[in-house]
Every structure is written in C-alpha cells, then in structure tokens.
Structure 1
Amino acid sequence: MLGKLETVFSYMAHFFLQSWPVHRPGILFLADHAGRLLKIIPLQDRQTWCPSCFPYLEGDTIADDSAAVPMRALRTGQITTGEADCPDGTVRLGAFPVKENDGTVRAVIGLIYPAADSDLDLHSYLHGLEPLILMGYDAYIQHATSEIVMNVNRYDRSGALIKSLIKQIAAIIDKGYCSAVKLSDNGTLLPQERLTTEGQEKNATHLAQILPRFLDKPIKPMVLDDDRTVIFPVYCEGRPLTALFLHIPPEEADCRYDVRDVAFLQEVGEKVSYSILRAAIADELRHDARKKDLLYQLTKKIQASIDVNDVLEEIMNSIHQFYPYLDAELFLTVETNTTLPVKPLSFQSGESDVSVQAYLEGRLVVSKNDAQGRPMVVIAAPLLGKQGIYGVLQLTANELVSVSDNETAYISILAETAGTAFENAQLYQQSRNLIRELRLINQMAQQLNRSLNLDEILQFVTKTLLETFAAEYCAILRRMDDDTDKLVVISSSTPEHVGKVVSSQEGPLADMFCSKQAMILAQPEITPFSLVPYTSLMAVPLLREAEVTGVLLVSDSRPHYFSFDDYKLLEIFGQHTSLAITNAMLHNEVERMVITDNLTGLYSRRYLNDRMRQSLEQDPFGSLILIDIDFFKNVNDTYGHQVGDEVLVQVANVIKHCIRETDIAARWGGEELAVYLPRVDIPSALMIAERIRSHVEKETVPTVTISSGLSKWDRQYNHNMSVENIFHHADIALYEAKKRGRNQIRLASHG
C-alpha cells in the first residue's frame, strides 16, 4: 500500500464517519502488523464513552491473547468479530485486515462500540470498509499529487525543483529511494545530471550501480528487477525532460513496489511535467545566455591577449565553469612556459591515444570505453589555427557521463577559437622572443668585444644569464689543464662555488661531454648533480677547436621551467661566450709573452724595470740581486747551445723556487739574470742570494755556479734613487764577485 498507514487511514476515516450513525458512540483505530496502535479516532464529537476493556493510547501495543480480535485478524488475514464484557457494559469488536497485493497483512482497522441496543451486522459492515479504504486512498493520492505540484511550482530552476520532487515522492512511497536523471533530446540518459535521495557520495550510490544498464538507449516506462526498480520517463509536448527512478537497494530484501506505487509515480510525473518543462526552458535560456556571454568574453580576451599563458588559463577556466564534471587537459605540440596542466602530445601508444587521433584527423573525437571496470568518456578537440594544429583539448570523465551533440559542438567551437587565439599569441610571442634574442645577442656581442679582461667577461656573462632566463643559478666551468676529467667553477651566481671542482663524467655533464651537444633536462631523479640541486637544467659546451674546454650552465628548482627557445638562446650565448673567453685567454697569453722571457719563463727586462719604478714610488725600501752564470761560454762550447739553454732554464727554475710570489725574477740579458725583492732588507736579501747560489751549484746538470751582486735602496737614505742607479751598483758588485773568483755574492757599497 502506498503512503504512510496513518495518513491513508485519516483520509479513509473521513468517508467512514459519514456512514456511521450520529447517535452511536464508538472508536475507530489503526494498528500495524505488530499490533502497535498508530491512530485512534472517536466516532462522535465530544465523545465521553471509553470502554475499560480498551485502555490503550496511540503508540501502545494491543495485548496478544486468544480473545484479542485485532490480533486474530492480523494472524488469519480474515475479518474478525467478537464481544467482550466490560465493567461498564458489553462491547462489540471488529477488525478488518489491510493487505498488500501479495496478500501480506500490513495493518488492521479495528472498530469497537457498545453492544446494547445495536442492530448493526458488524461482519457485513466491515466488508463495506474496502471501498471506503480505496476512496480514502484515492483522496490521499489526489491530495498528495496536488501538494507536490503546488510545491514544485515554487521553483524556477530545474535542480531545486527536481530535488524537491524526488524528496516528496520518496517520503510518500516510503520504500527504497527516488532519483531523477536528465534526458537528452533523443530520450537517452545524461547520467552526469542526476539527483537522488540517497545520502552517499555520487559514484557510490545504488543509482550509480544500476544506471549503466540503461545508457545509450531511449528510456521507456518499465518495472524491473522483480518489482524492485521502476522507471518513468517524463515527457511534455513530446520533449524528453527527466527519468524518474524508484529503486530498492539490496539491503531492503523484503520490499517490492506494487501497482499503486507505479501508478502514483506515473500520476505525479504527468502532473509535474509542465512545471519541469517551464523550469528546463528557463534553465536553458539562462545557460545559453551564460554560454554566449562567456564565449564572447573568452573570444574578446584571447583575441586581445598577447600572452600565451593568459590564453591557456582563460580556456581552462571556461571549461571548468561549463563542465565541472569533466577533467580538462591540454596536449600541445609546441613549447610554452605555463603553470597549467599542459602535457606534450606523445604519438606513442598511451594515455593520449584519443587526442592523437583528434590531432591527426583534425576533428573532434568522442571515445567511450571501460577503464579498470569503470565507464570512461574522453572528448578530444583539436586546437585548430590557420597555419596548423597546435594541440588538443582533452576532456575526461571517470564516471557516468553522456554529452549531447550540442555540447560537443560547443566544445569544438571553443577549441577552434582557442586554437586561433593561441596561434596569434604564439606568433606574437615568437616575434617578441626573436626580437629579444637578437637584441640580447647584439648587446652581448658588443659588450664581450669591448673587453679582453677575463674577469670582466665572466662577470658580465653570469649576470646576463641570470637576467635573461630569470633562473635561480648559473655557473661557468672550465676544464683543468692538468686533468681532462675535472672541471673547475671559474664564475658562478653563488660566489662560494668559485674554485669548486666537479667531474666531467658526473650526472648531466657526462652525455654532453660525449656528444659535445647542448642539453636541457627536467628529471633530477635520473641525473643528480653535486654542484647544485635542480629540477630544470640547461647546459652548453664551450668549444675550442672542436674540443670541450668548459661548460655554460643554468638551473632552476621549478619543473619544466626552461623552454626550447631558452635552450636555443643559451646555445648562441655559449658560442659567443666561448669565443670571448678564448680571445681573453689569448690576449692574456700575448700579454704574458710580452712581459715574459720565452726560454726561461722569467719576466722580461722591461717588465722588471716597470715594477721597480712602481716600487720606488710606493715601497720604503728594496733589494736587487744581479746574477751571472760562471763560465757559461764554456758550457755552450763544450755541450752545445741546446744544453746551454737547458742550463739557463734550470737556473731560472731554481730562482723561482727560492723567492716569494711578490718577488720579480727576470732575464736581464744572455746568461745574466736579476731578482728584485720589494720591501726586503740586505740581511734577508743575502740569505735569499745565498740560497739561490747553493741550490744552483747542487741541482744543475751539468753543474754550474753563479756570481751575484747585491744592491739595495732605502727611501730614508736615498731620496733620489733610480732604477738605473740600483742596477749600476749591483753590476759593480757583480763585477767584484767575478773578479774575486766567482761562485760568490758581493754587496754593493753605496757612497
């Protein structure tokens, strides 16, 4: 029986009271299948009669003994009558069982009244209750339907209307759940637009379990699953609107829907169809207006935008507004710097198969398949431009979804509009990047050509790299001369890294040194690097005569931070940097050759003179050792000039090892050498001169000796001392040492 027992009973009682004699007292009551009293109605206004043998109130349970007429009716399912003697007189009792269609006794309607002066045939009278019950039931249905129609007419939006409708139907039928699923124009289900009275997560409901059976085919009225599922499609003026579902979950094993439930659902569906149509039309008008407005705003913004990232962001925001039940992804065939969920379009078999098909065929593709036992819908729309296809907009639903032709057409328009805008923004961005790159290359070339100082070049390149790529770290590494597998940091955005040594076979550098090609990486878990932690990294080799002499490196902690354009620009930077460093090093080498003796590696006489003049201006005192190799002509005559040169080199090396870095050793001419010791007094100079003399005698092969003349100057005593005077005094002392037998040191006298 449809509805709550007490509600239907109240409607039936109205008709019963009209047939009951006005002067006769009595009590009409309703008890459920367990004997619990649900409703008690006195049959007279202001009735005072209340038999002591019926001492019950609503909510009490009737005593179950053999004499209890209502309980016998519940057990037997038959009309039962009887009498009972009470202290206040004999009463007559009758009970009428209320049955379901399958004969199950659901409740009992009871009647009790005084037996005195009664000529009522109680058994026959109870038989007459059945049409009264049906009349009450019909009145209840009509009232309930009218109330539902009145309630739903208060809503002008379909969602709120349908939610109110199914809630009221579920409360009246009082079995299982009531749900509603929107219908497409061809009468098929749109499962993403569904509402249910179940209080569970959308995809975990009983409705979600039964819906897959009815997808992709027009819905018709039907009763299924052994009377446990009822479906009624609501149409109005030939237009499909929504499908109403009554469904009983497995845990309610004993419940079934009867013909009254089905009839009620149909009655309500037909009566509310105009209300649903009205709300649906209003929704569509609002939705279409919103779509047109959003499309206009989208088109206006993306056509005016010159930023690719703005274009992509506006597309994704619009998709989320229109289709919140779809997950949107962008598969692109061009590089772009964005924080949105953009993926490269891979033509290998995998997650983007549908998008690859849409890209290759240049049309929208809808795929419906099963992913691990769950239905999945994938919509792929190519981003079409005038000059090509720039990617694919892929929409995925991992739930029950059916997208109408109107929606797929709109998605296609949106993707094409986005493709055109993306193309415009991409071309503009490319032109800007090209101008920026050319300007940067020109500025860099001018700056690098302006200076031959290596430190200035390294500082400029490091600063330019950081500013150009807005990266967190950059460094310039050079291969060490004494170890071809080691690289030393010669410049870095982190000054503490300068001088740090790394292996050329480590992490991301190994492949680059092997291939001699630039690289771009974004997988730190595969190629870790001890110099600096990174997520994105670019590196180019610095080449000289086809050999890798160093590395230009830029890194950042943000994933996929560098674009392909950045990579190509860094390659150009690498070429200019390599050339500039090579020129600076060659210039340094030329400068070194100008101030250095090619044979001995000692400074030239000119350089020594210049440094001594600086010392005379800046220092308080200094000393000069003038050295001559004894009998050097005999060495050349005996062993040849090649051995003579080797002896010169040996003596020069001894001098280098015996002096400080701040001291200046030079080849004065022929076999004569000189050592200037700034800020060194005579006693210390004598010790150094003796150390040089001793080591030369011990370490040269063939053995040679040296004679030395030592002179000094002191600002305190020699105000007008010149370089020539210092050399003159040292030369006199040297002559004295040679005159006195050689292999000795003589100190000049300053008169």
Structure 2
Amino acid sequence: MDVVKYKKLFQIAKKLHSSLDVDVILGELFVTLKEVYPNFSYFLLLSMDTYSHSDLPIIELEYDNENIMAIKTFASGNVQFESSHFEKHAILYAPLKGKQGVYGVLQVIAPETSEFPAMEVEFITLLSECAGGALENAQLHQQSQRTISDLQLINETSHQLNSNRPMTETFTFMSAKIKTSFEAEEVGFFLFSQDQAKAKALPGSTSYFFTRQARVYIDYIKGKLQKGNEPLFLGDLNLSEKNYGTSFHSIMAVPVVVSKKLKGFCIIMHRSPYFFSFESFKLLQSLVHHSSLALTNSILREELKILVTTDHLTKLHSRKFLDDKIQRSMKNDEEGTFILIDIDNFKEINDTYGHQIGDEVLIQVANLIRGNIRENDVGARWGGEELAIYLPKVPLDTGVAIAKRLVKKVSECSVPHITVSCGVSYWNKEKHDSYQYVFKRADEALYTAKETGKNKVVIQDDNIRAS
C-alpha cells in the first residue's frame, strides 16, 4: 500500500474515531470509498438490530443462500473473496470488527476482473477494521447513554413513588414519564379486584383506557396475565374486528406482583406493529418491578385515606374531613353555605323498630344527600343521627333551596316514614368569620327548627328565621 493511501487511512481513522455518532461514521466510510475507489461498487450489510440509513447503500444482513459469503465473513470475522467469470467482477467481504464483536460486513465489488486486486485488499481491510472499531465505540456510547437514561427514569420514578404523594399524582407522573421514554400512545395502570374478576383503570392512566373501546384490550391482557402471570411483549396483535375499528398492534404489559400475588398490571400501546424494542420491554419490566411495592403502598395509602375520611355506615365523609374542607374553603373561596341536618324523633325509631332499622334510616338519608349535591360538595356524618352538607362557593339562597329539597325528598321517600330538620348558616369574605362560628350558627338554627315543629329549614344569620 503506497504512502498516499496510508496518509488517507490515517486521516479517515482520525475522523471516524472523533465521532460517537453512528450516522457520521457510516457516512464518512462511504465518502472515503467513493474518493479512493470511484469505479468500485460497495454495500454495507448490517444486522437488523442495528440502524437503518435510507440515504446510504446499506442493506439488511439476512441469513439466506444469496448471502453465504457475507454470513461467513460476519460469523468468522475474516475477509472473504468471491468472483464471477460470467459477470466479470470480483467481490471482497470485509468484517466491520471491534474488540467485542463484528458489527457488519463491507461488500466491495471490483468490476472488469475475475480476481480482486491484491494491492487493494490491505487498505480495505484496514479501513473496515478502523470503521468497525469506531462503530463499536459509538454503539457502546449510545448503550451507556441509554443505560444512564434508563437508570434516571427508574430513580426518578422510585423517588416519586416513595414520596407519599397522592395516588392520582403518582400515577399521572408515571404515565407521563413512560409515555415520553417509550414514545407510547397509551399508558394504563390497572388494579385487580379482590377476586381478580375485574381490572379497574387507575387515575393517571391515559383517557383511552376509560373508554368502551379499550375494554377489549384490557380484558385480553387481563386474561393472558391471569393464565401465566408473565410479562407480555406483543409486536403485531390484531383485535380490530372486536374493537370498533380502533387498532393497537404493539403492546407491552407487565404484571404488578407483590408477595407472589398478582395485584394489577401496566399496559403501554402503540398503533404501529413492532414499534417497541426488546430493550424497552426489559426496561418496562425493570421499572414496574422496582415500582411494584411502592405502587401497592400508594394504592393502600389511598384506600386507607378513604377509610379514615369516610363514615363506615353511611359512606359519607367523616367529621374531620368536613372540618378540613371548610377551613380550606374559607381561606380560598369567596363564600359558602353549611347545612346541619337532624333526623326527627330518631330515638323513637330505634325504640319502635330496633337499631338495625335506625341504621337503615341513616343510610337512606345519606343516599338522598349524595343524590342532591355536586361532586365538589361535601356530605358528612356529623355525629349520631346528625348529618351535614357543606357547599363551597354557593350563595345562601341556593343552599336553602337544596336544604328544602332534601327535607321534601326525605318526607316523600323514606321507609319507614321519617322527617328531617335543617339549620343553615352562610359566610362570605365581606365580613370577618370563623368556621367554629359557622357551625355554631347552623346548630342554633337547627335547634330552632326542632323546637318550632320539625320537618323544616331554619336559616341562621343575624336573626334566626324559618323558611
């Protein structure tokens, strides 16, 4: 090999090893080949788990009879030759080899000859070895960057899960992270019921999983996981005929297992077939595995919070929850209305029908309360036979109307027939007030209602008045 080619090889080696970008390395390789061998043809055969470059003469390295010499080169790591007397050309196959393996095969075709020029073999061999080393370095760098990114994702997620944040906030965070990291179109978290008959989508899942169309995928994955309890990696699933035209082909699903028990699962989906790599599948498994206990703890904390803030009999909120809600509202809102409710003659009901019927009466009134308030309003058990409603941002006249409607509904619908009395109080930002005084005024109004005939609504402001 002459001095000019040595200098050229030295220059290209510097360029190749100065970059950690696979696209740049492969581009420089072909630029050099065009400069040195303008009359030769060349192709780079890469295995399908590497990269795709539509603008370069790169083809997939397939294991078939047409690529025997290329496969032999790839497997052995040694240069191979092939010639054709009929077509009058000779071919050299040079491995792109690094220290850890072979990353592809460079095919160089010399025209108008039955034997590849011996003087060119050394240069092409050294060039391919140089490119192989640079390609290995670039791929190792990219792998290390992916590993760092994966570890950061796991670390951030674990930190979030162990920070005792509300369940909705936790799963919303995880959903956003997974969607970004995996380029997924849909991300869902599911919790099994006690008997594992149902899988409930948890808050934080993407909105698709709360639609009817998603049910076919949820049920399919649920059935598969319950049979094998193993992660699922599906590249081209087709359930479109059962799913009203919606079609997701790439699906990864990982079970959430705690103490060898299947508690739930995570699904991520994309419409394109074979969209997710096997590396991403392993990452999702690792992420869910690291998060399983924290996810379960988050769910249990939420369930415990509901138990603590809910009255076990009426399923209304607890007195403490109501207190906290009113205090926050008086800091942040402009106004609010409080209704204190008492079941008339409740002791007589217990004495006449028994305490079990007394409990059923309480439940009936609690159900009517829930049916007459908004999602943001608070229905609570105040204590004994007394219940309460707090209406944030609601003026007095609207609150009184709700109280009157409740009194009417109870009188019409209760079995056995009962009535209730209501005391209503109101606050706004225009005058100094406290939540203790709001309670006191409602309690005084309720006392007045009970003493003046029952089955009515009494408003407490500066002067008590019946309504």
TM-score (norm 1): 0.48
Distance 1:743 1:350 in 2: 93
Show the counterpart of 2:267.
551
Show the counterpart of 1:695.
409
Contact 2:93 2:107 in 1 (8 A): yes
C-alpha deviation, 1:641, in angstroms: 4.8
Show the counterpart of 2:318.
604
The answer as to 2:131 corresponding to 1:418 is: yes
- Residues 1:707 and 1:511: Cα distance change in structure 2 (over 3 Å): closer
AA in 2 matched with 1:652: A
Distance 1:346 1:443 in 2: 40
Contact 2:91 2:109 in 1 (8 A): yes
AA in 2 matched with 1:332: S
Contact 2:254 2:284 in 1 (8 A): no
C-alpha deviation, 1:655, in angstroms: 0.5
Show the counterpart of 1:360.
75
Show the counterpart of 1:727.
439
The answer as to 2:162 corresponding to 1:449 is: yes
> How do 1:489-528 residues align onto structure 2 when only pairs under 5 Å count?
490=204, 502-503=213-214, 505=216, 514=224, 517=231, 519=233
Q: Which among 296, 312, 323 is matched to residue 26 of structure 2?
A: 312
> How do 1:340-419 residues align onto structure 2 when only pairs under 5 Å count?
345-347=61-63, 349=64, 351-367=66-82, 379-395=92-108, 402-404=114-116, 406=118, 407-408=120-121, 410-419=123-132
Distance 1:527 1:327 in 2: 44
Distance 1:394 1:509 in 2: 50
Show the counterpart of 1:668.
382
Contact 2:102 2:132 in 1 (8 A): yes
Residues 79-103 of structure 1, C-alpha deviations (whole Å, 9 max, x = no match): xxxxxxxxxxxxxxxxxxxxxxxxx
Distance 1:512 1:602 in 2: 33
Residues 524-552 of structure 1, C-alpha deviations (whole Å, 9 max, x = no match): 999999999999x7855473653554434
Give RMSD over aligned pairs: 5.0
Show the counterpart of 2:6.
292
> How do 1:263-278 residues align onto structure 2 when only pairs under 5 Å count?
none
- Residues 1:609 and 1:436: Cα distance change in structure 2 (over 3 Å): closer
**2:371 match: secondary structure:** helix
**1:503 match: secondary structure:** helix
**2:143 match: secondary structure:** helix
Contact 1:697 1:703 in 2 (8 A): no
AA in 2 matched with 1:730: A
* Greater helix content: 2
Q: Which among 15, 28, 44 is matched to residue 329 of structure 1?
A: 44
Contact 1:465 1:474 in 2 (8 A): no
Distance 1:344 1:520 in 2: 23
RCO higher in 1 or 2 (8 Å CA, sep ≥ 6)?
Answer: 2
- Residues 1:661 and 1:509: Cα distance change in structure 2 (over 3 Å): closer
> How do 1:38-57 residues align onto structure 2 when only pairs under 5 Å count?
none
The answer as to 2:143 corresponding to 1:430 is: yes
C-alpha deviation, 1:673, in angstroms: 0.5
TM-score (norm 2): 0.72
C-alpha deviation, 1:392, in angstroms: 2.7
- Residues 1:390 and 1:731: Cα distance change in structure 2 (over 3 Å): same
Distance 2:58 2:264 in 1: 36
Q: Which among 155, 171, 188 is matched to residue 477 of structure 1?
A: 188
The answer as to 2:388 corresponding to 1:677 is: no
C-alpha deviation, 1:503, in angstroms: 1.7
Distance 1:342 1:525 in 2: 31
AA in 1 matched with 2:45: L
Distance 1:412 1:328 in 2: 15
Distance 1:748 1:295 in 2: 95
- Residues 1:601 and 1:329: Cα distance change in structure 2 (over 3 Å): same
Contact 1:602 1:666 in 2 (8 A): yes
- Residues 1:458 and 1:323: Cα distance change in structure 2 (over 3 Å): farther
Distance 2:268 2:248 in 1: 15
Contact 1:383 1:419 in 2 (8 A): yes
Structure with bigger gyration radius: 1
5+ unaligned residues in a row in structure 1: which ranges? Answer: 1-284
Q: Which among 563, 568, 592 is matched to residue 306 of structure 2?
A: 592
- Residues 1:488 and 1:363: Cα distance change in structure 2 (over 3 Å): same
- Residues 1:571 and 1:685: Cα distance change in structure 2 (over 3 Å): same
Residues 562-609 of structure 1, C-alpha deviations (whole Å, 9 max, x = no match): 765455444444555666665544444444333332332222212223
Seq. identity, %:
33
Contact 1:302 1:311 in 2 (8 A): yes
**1:546 match: secondary structure:** strand
- Residues 1:352 and 1:652: Cα distance change in structure 2 (over 3 Å): farther
Distance 2:222 2:22 in 1: 32
- Residues 1:292 and 1:637: Cα distance change in structure 2 (over 3 Å): farther
Contact 2:89 2:109 in 1 (8 A): yes
C-alpha deviation, 1:705, in angstroms: 1.4
Aligned pair count reads: 449
Residues 634-660 of structure 1, C-alpha deviations (whole Å, 9 max, x = no match): 555666655544432232111111123
Distance 2:38 2:203 in 1: 53
Distance 2:279 2:116 in 1: 41
C-alpha deviation, 1:710, in angstroms: 1.7
- Residues 1:690 and 1:433: Cα distance change in structure 2 (over 3 Å): closer
- Residues 1:526 and 1:738: Cα distance change in structure 2 (over 3 Å): closer
Contact 2:344 2:421 in 1 (8 A): no
Q: Which among 320, 339, 362 is matched to residue 625 of structure 1?
A: 339
C-alpha deviation, 1:376, in angstroms: 8.5
5+ unaligned residues in a row in structure 2: which ranges? Answer: none
Q: Which among 416, 422, 426 is matched to residue 709 of structure 1?
A: 422
Contact 1:364 1:412 in 2 (8 A): yes
Distance 1:722 1:656 in 2: 26
